[in-house]
Amino acid sequence: MDLRFTRNFDRELRTIRNTGASMRPSRRRLTFLSAFGAAAALLPAVTWGGAQQGNGSDGGEVAIYSARHYDTDRQLYDAFTRETGIRVRLIEGNADQLIARIQSEGRNSPADVLITVDAARLARAKEAGLTAPHGSALIAQRVPAGLRDPDGHWFAVSQRARVIMYDRERGAPEGLSRYEDLADPRFRGQVCARSGSHPYNVGLVASVLAANGPERTEEWVRGLVANMARPPQGGDRDQFRAIPAGQCRLAIANTYYLGHYGRSEKPEDQALFRRIGVIFPNQAPGDRGTHVNISGAALVRTAPHREAAVRFLEYLTDAKAQELFALGNMEYPAVADAPLHPALAAMGAFRAEPIDTTGGAARAAEALQILQRAGWR
């Protein structure tokens, strides 16, 4: 992975901040009732984001079903509308709800684009027949093959590395360089982690499963659970914040959560960022590399606005969009030459594990079963 500083970060970040207030769309809350299978499920309130048309032109619309919930994404939608005249209609929810909704809506679904925060759910949507190849040569040119579905159904728009964090004041623990080392009895009572059922941890265990097989993976998860300093709780931020609080010595978390502390202007946030060290696991020659979560996008098979949808998908790989992902939300871009936030670059360079573009949904389901059997709940 090519990681580099952006020379004009201060100027770019000021631009993001200054435009954020004027670019944030208005929201209306609506409640929908969605049936999935034989059961009816009440979906939570969703947002329809209507950005203003650029130059007074009416370029149609695109309906986005997104599991991402960030202000920077709304800035991106508004920028897309100003540039193209295509209005964005946004529905937010978790990926399972959105996939179930598309299924229940059938051929009458208004969804054009599905965005999730993990590859497994994109793979599941593909296997369920909900997505279609986008056919864009531009996306194929911009996004590396390892970050794209081989059949062209979906691709990554951004990445977060799932790493091991430690207390710099105590120093990096010896003998900890791989995810597998977290199960070593030497680290008994030292590890903090969020719920095993969270997609980030399901993805991590699916990665270990692909590398080591089911028996060794379950043994590893049991060892890791035995090494936990407390029952799984909270989000990723809660894990590394527990380190200086003395609740644990090690934490499993995504880089972008720590990166937000590095970009903060608060002295206490900067102090925490300087104190937390990062280990990028599995970096030895011949090893598989550090696991990354992706946010990715797919064209819905029944998209009523296919042309606008493909244009939006291509926009997600544009330099401006990738800059917002990288500088605005502290993520690693999917396009190689996009800028990187200095706080992320300060964590160090690393080699990423290739994305599992085949069999991801089935492997994630097996990983979840292993997690439940091994007690990581």
**Neighbour count for residue 311 (Cβ, 10 Å):** 19
**Paired tokens of 319:** 């330099």
Angle between helices 360-374 and 119-127 (to 10 degrees): 120
Q: Is 257 annotated as a binding residue?
A: yes
Which single residue is written with the structure tokens 């993990």? Answer: 118
Which residues lie across from 294 on neighbouring strands?
Answer: 159
Report how far residue 373's alpha carbon sits from residue 367's, in angstroms, rounded to the nearest whole number. Answer: 10
Cα–Cα distance for residue pair 200/205, rounded to 1 Å:
9
Written as one letter, the residue type at 164 is I
Residue type present at position 170: R
The answer to whether the annotation marks 260 as part of a ligand binding site is no
CA distance 376 to 205: 11
Paired tokens of 127: 């296997």
Whole-angstrom distance, CA of residue 155 vs CA of residue 191:
33
The reply to whether 315 sits in an annotated binding site is: no
Tokens of 351: 């080699």
- Residue 177 buriedness (CB in 10 A; 0-12 / 13-18 / 19+): middle
- Does residue 111 contact residue 34 with C-beta atoms inside 8 Å? no
Q: How far apart are CA 168 and CA 42, in angstroms?
A: 46
Answer for the pair 91, 64: CB distance below 8 angstroms, yes or no: yes
- Angstrom distance (rounded) from CA 121 to CA 296: 10
**Binding-site residues for Fe cation:** 69, 256-257
